[in-house]
Amino acid sequence: MAEDPALAVGVVRLDPDLPLPRPALPGDAGWDLFARVGTVLAPGGGRAVVPTGIALVLPEGSAALVLPRSGLAVRHGVTCLNAPGLIDAGYRGEVQVVLVNTDPVEPYEVHRGDRIAQLLVQRLDPLRVFEAEPAALAPTARGTNGFGHSGR
């Protein structure tokens, strides 16, 4: 029998009236998260922590990222302030989203049940950190050129 390659993620419904996370279309990588409460984001940087009504049971060796919805960003200037938000496998509290309204003029009203962000769950490769000698920084084409080094 073939092993199931799917990453099993438990979702605990803290609000039985909200849907579980789900992709908008089959095959989408991001799964929609829904607002448990409504709020108004003031223009020019108004922000709020919006609960989603779920908690996750992530397997060890995985993490979840909370990402903005592109449609909210394009149409309303609403995005996730700490994008991506990181949910570690050991976290057992309610998933919450920090939303911010970048529109300089219009407030944005979040309604209960609105799709407010996307959840992306990733397997993590084990990481081993070691101290390297400065000589390990072999020259590259980029070198030490940082932000904006390649121009417009």
Domains of the chain: 10-125 (2.70.40.10)
Confirm whether residue 88 is marked as ligand binding.
Answer: yes
What was the pLDDT predicted at 2? 66
Q: In this predicted structure, what is the pLDDT of residue 77?
A: 97
Q: Tell whether residue 116 is among the known ligand binding residues.
A: no
Q: Is 54 annotated for ligand binding? A: no
Q: Is 69 annotated as a binding residue?
A: yes
* Residue 86 known to bind ligand: yes
Please indicate if the annotation marks 143 as binding a ligand. Answer: no
Give per-residue pLDDT as tens, 72-85: 999 999 999 999 99
Contact between 69 and 115 (Cβ < 8 Å):
yes
Considering the chain, what percentage of its residues have pLDDT values greater than 90? 85
Instruction: Compute and round to an integer the Cα radius of gyration of the chain.
Output: 19
* pTM of the predicted structure, to 2 decimals: 0.87
Residue 82 in marked binding region? yes
Alpha helices, H only, 15-96:
70-76
Q: Say which range, 45-49, 63-67, 136-140, has the weakest mean pLDDT.
A: 136-140
* Residue 144: both structure tokens together: 């030490």
